Amino acid sequence: MAGGITWHYVLKFIITGDAAVGKSSLLIRLTDQRFLANPDPTLGVEFGSKLIEIPEEGKIVKLQCWDTAGTESFRSITRSYYRGAAGCLLVYDVTSRNSFTNARSWLADVREHADPHLTCILVGNKADLVSDPAGEGGTGSGHGRHREVTTEEAEIWAKEEGLLFVEASAKSGQNVQLAFEQASRDILDKIKRGVFEDDRSPGVKLSKPSTNPLALEQTATRSTCCSS
């Protein structure tokens, strides 16, 4: 990161959902602006970090993202990373009904193990595979995949559960940064309302106005997953 760049907040995010829905691909798209056709499945947990700007708040936010494995055998390990997260991307694949059904049990895990004030955004990934944006029985775009979860259905469930919602594509990049921005905006709003307090919510770190920028950056770099 270039010298002099600093942040106003560090926000810890977790990315969760079934195996192969594209959690790691969303993170790589966010941090590296690239897409891998054949990434390795995540073993345990991976980490990525990015500075984003929320212009209307005049704030720079450092996202610290923990990308968890969807494979069942890692589930108990990844649960331990939920603690202290301020934000969560709950990911399913719009071409897999199963992954959407299972989102309920991932959300139950999040609710059980994460901060109750956590902001969660439901992300319907692989939107590039479905040609029908309205979500009524699209036949795909030559990939042999078709939409199995309509936009409307996901929207309704997200509303019922108090989740933000967006459809995205790690492949095309569509709405990927937006998903993190929307969640960050919501968290900043909660901070303004006093929902998160600096030392009681390890998922949120606030910069101290009097501290010099270099020290802030060092603090950010040293931040670890499970600090409490």
Ligand X SMILES: Nc1nc2c(ncn2[C@@H]2O[C@H](COP(=O)(O)OP(=O)(O)OP(=O)(O)O)[C@@H](O)[C@H]2O)c(=O)[nH]1
Q: What are phi and psi of 116, to 5 degrees?
A: -60, -20
Sign of CA dihedral 160, 164, 166, 169: negative
At residue 158, φ and ψ (nearest 5 deg) are -60, -45
Residue 88 DSSP class: E
Smallest gap from residue 40 Cβ to ligand X (A): 7
- Closer of 74 and 157 to ligand X (Cβ): 74
71 binds, among ligand X, Mg ion, none (CB under 5 to 8 A by kind): ligand X
Residue 148 binds ligand X (CB under 6 A) = no
Q: Cα–Cα distance between 110 and 153 in angstroms, integer? A: 21
Site residues (CB under 6 A) for ligand X, limited to 186-215: none
| Binding segment (CB under 6 A) for ligand X, from list 122-130, 181-189, 190-198, 217-225 | 122-130
Torsion of CA 145, 161, 174, 13, to 10 degrees: -120
Restricted to residues 20-79, the positions that interact with ligand X (CB under 6 A) are 20-25, 36-39, 41-42, 69-71
Residues in the site for ligand X, rule: CB under 6 A? 19-25, 36-39, 41-42, 69-71, 125-126, 128-129, 169-171
